[in-house]
Structure 1
């Protein structure tokens, strides 16, 4: 696999009982973790703080961020591209609201995997009971 066929991203894991907070972007049919691409010069944590604020209006507390998994899966809707998503937990302030390119927020459990992108499906498989 070449570097140009790998998309590196970050994702924020927020749990409520047995469900994850997921987002669906405009024009897409699957749900993803809040987060996104890392800009040049950003650390994973900086990218995550920026993306979660842009997408959900939440302020992540950088001191609480903890890397918990790296997921590798085919990138949803991008043939030939492989996603490497660095997943973090952490405390956020505020109430999540759809912003920027986000069309929908949802709390989704393992019984709704068909609604999720491949990386989220793999995340459900590696996370201990939420």
Structure 2
């Protein structure tokens, strides 16, 4: 049985329809911004806290639209599975890498990133994002 890391993650989308990927210091894989959910914390509260710590982004939890729970092998912790509570956040705010974030990349829906991606991002979240943006509004 693999060990579970519970996280809250943001499918952060800018006014141009691009989504933000981040890379933590000392790691290779790009992934959605977000982070571990503390014991007494709701996923939405964790998301708000992590986006502020990692990107200097202040969001209202009401802005975060819950998209579901997704699981995949953890990118940076071998033998672990990451279980992400995923939220869509539309924001025009500027972001700046902070805390453990070393690099940020905005990705358009039709772009195939030439970057190493976390399994969750590559296999589940990016396909969902592309489908959401191509779907009739």
TM range (shorter): 0.7 to 0.9
Number of the residue aligned with 1:104:
103
Within 1, Cα distance between the matches of 2:41 and 2:91?
Answer: 19
Trace 1:1-130 onto structure 2 (pairs within 5 A): 1=1, 5-16=3-14, 17=16, 19-92=18-91, 94-109=93-108, 110-112=111-113, 114-121=115-122, 122-127=124-129, 128-130=131-133
Runs of 5+ consecutive residues of structure 1 not aligned to the other structure: none
Within 2, Cα distance between the matches of 1:81 and 1:113?
Answer: 25
Conservation of the 8 A alpha-carbon contact between 1:57 and 1:94: no
The structure 1 segments of at least 4 consecutive aligned residues displaced by more than 6 Å after TM superposition are none
- The CA deviation string for residues 1-46 of structure 1, in whole angstroms up to 9 with x for no partner, is 36xx011101011124463201111001111111000012110010
Within 1, Cα distance between the matches of 2:93 and 2:128?
Answer: 28
How large is the Cα RMSD of the aligned pairs? Answer: 1.9
Q: Look up the SS of the partner of 1:111 in the other structure.
A: coil
Within 2, Cα distance between the matches of 1:76 and 1:123?
Answer: 14
Q: Look up the SS of the partner of 1:79 in the other structure.
A: coil
Within 2, Cα distance between the matches of 1:123 and 1:91?
Answer: 15
Conservation of the 8 A alpha-carbon contact between 1:60 and 1:93: no
Q: CA 1:88/1:113 → structure 2, altered by over 3 Å: closer, same or farther? A: farther
Corresponding pairs, count: 128
Q: Look up the SS of the partner of 1:115 in the other structure.
A: coil
